[in-house]
Amino acid sequence: MATLLKSDKHGLLSAPIPDALRRLAVPMVFGMIAILMFNLVDTFFISRLGTNALAAVSFTFPVTFGLNCITMGMNVGISTSIGRMLGQGDSRSAARITTHGLLLSLLLMIIGSSIGLLTIKPLFTLMGASAELLPIIEQYMTVWYIAIPLLVIPMAGNSAIRATGDAKSPAKIMVIAGIINGLLDPLLIFGYGSFPALGVKGAAIASGISWVFALIASLYLLYQREKLLILPQWRLLKNDWQQILHIGVPAGLSTALNPLSGALLMALLASQSTASVAAYGAAMRVESLLVIVMMALGSALMPFMAQNLGAQKPQRAFSALFTAMHFALGFQLLVFIAMVPLSMPLAALFSKDSVVQNQLWHYLLVVPASYGLQAICMLLISALNALHKTIYALCWNLLRLFVLLLPAAWIGSYLYGTEGLFIGIAAANVVSGIGAYYYARKLRNSMLSPQ
């Protein structure tokens, strides 16, 4: 009992459910905003170098996100495994999984970045980059590939720290790393003072330096405070890696489905008009802020459920799931109500083109009405990951995006153009959300009913 209480130092097993979820989710919101700002600051300073530099770095986004999907998947495997063990009061096994998980994530990223370094020119040529852009892309990606292993450890380490119930420390690490990156960007890109003007390479170096800080801070917390780092136990390494991969591979694939479906939606919109693409691109920037609380809540739900399932408290785990779902419906309804008067001013802020404004206004008026039900599906996927049912989580994301959303968007586009496509997205969110809610109820009943 003493070990169990010690593992519950952040109250995931005993505090009131809304309080525990709020303590996890609120810092995650700030951490996610820091990551968004991190990307925006990079984009802003790189855009000052000219259109070619901005276009070159834009080409790198799918590749960098694809590699990061590896880490994101491993993070789910590490986090849910640690949460279960901490819930059981087995801090020694949690430390072993953390150590082995960090080694696995680092190894996979080194393999991925090594392949990337050897294939920069052929890969980006295949993606359609012109001969004019390839040298700029090579400057950026060479540094990025060398530096990205530095980011793997803090990303995986922060997931492990969140699994203990502490979301504040990882958020602080990401905020400070973002500030360091923002300060170094202009110095290394434009060469102020004694700093050399390195262009896009400077942006990649600035990111790498900020990742060094994140790495040191994360390792310090894991080793000194959380006691989650030990010497590797080589005889158990294979079994632990298999466990993490069993959870992490489907989770990583599920994460990768989102940009893939986004690219297919963009292709649909491109067949409509350039204005449609511009309107959707602006809508995605607004949407990333409108759903950020739900994304944080989904991330908070995983360690909460994992610890409570490990502590043999499935009733409390499922109570948290439905508390989060009901909150999502209410919160996103308020967001939608707020968007009704704000949609037109926001549309005018993002574009002076009347066609783009009208389409963006339509998106912001229609799609946010479905965000609450979209969030329910997102929360179910987080819960399935916590339950180690990652294949089911992958299937639900496939269902939402490729069985419902893309066909509904295509039908809407065929019938009513761009506005119909937006209605199709909203309709798919509604259907997937209702289905996810009833599936969650069925799952709860099956797991809590006496055997």
In angstroms, the CA 100 to CA 27 distance is 27
Question: For residue 151, what are the CA distances in angstroms to 76, 244, 249?
Answer: 16, 19, 19
Residue 437 sits at φ, ψ, to 5 deg, of: -65, -45
What is the pLDDT, as a whole number, of residue 119? 94
Residue burial 195-211, b: 16+ Cβ < 10 Å; e: rest = eeebbbbbbbbbbbbbb
In angstroms, the CA 164 to CA 202 distance is 36
Longest distance between any two alpha carbons in the chain, whole Å: 71
Q: What is the pTM of this model?
A: 0.87
In angstroms, the CA 357 to CA 276 distance is 10
DSSP conformational letter for 50? -
The string of DSSP letters for 252-276 reads HHHHHHHHHHHHHHHHHHHTT-HHH
What is the pLDDT, as a whole number, of residue 282? 80
Q: Where do the domains of the chain lie?
A: 15-232, 252-450
What is the pLDDT, as a whole number, of residue 441? 97
Q: Are the C-beta atoms of residues 232 and 168 closer than 8 Å to each other?
A: no
In angstroms, the CA 13 to CA 38 distance is 34
pLDDT in tens, the chain (451 residues): 444 444 567 789 999 999 999 999 999 998 888 877 777 788 788 888 887 888 888 788 878 888 888 888 999 999 999 999 999 999 999 999 999 999 999 999 999 999 999 999 998 888 788 888 899 999 999 999 999 999 999 999 999 999 999 999 999 998 999 899 999 999 999 998 888 899 999 999 999 999 999 999 999 999 999 899 999 999 999 999 999 999 999 999 998 898 888 878 888 887 887 788 888 878 887 888 889 999 999 999 999 999 999 999 999 999 999 999 999 999 999 999 998 998 888 888 877 788 888 998 999 999 999 999 999 999 999 999 999 999 999 999 999 999 999 999 999 999 999 899 999 999 999 999 999 999 999 999 999 886 5
In angstroms, the CA 326 to CA 230 distance is 40
Instruction: From 131, 115, 139, 116, select the one nearest 57 (Cα to Cα).
Output: 139
What is the pLDDT, as a whole number, of residue 215? 94
What is the pLDDT, as a whole number, of residue 5? 41
In angstroms, the CA 11 to CA 308 distance is 11
What is the pLDDT, as a whole number, of residue 64? 86
Tell me how many degrees the CA angle 187-192-194 measures, rounded to the nearest 5.
100
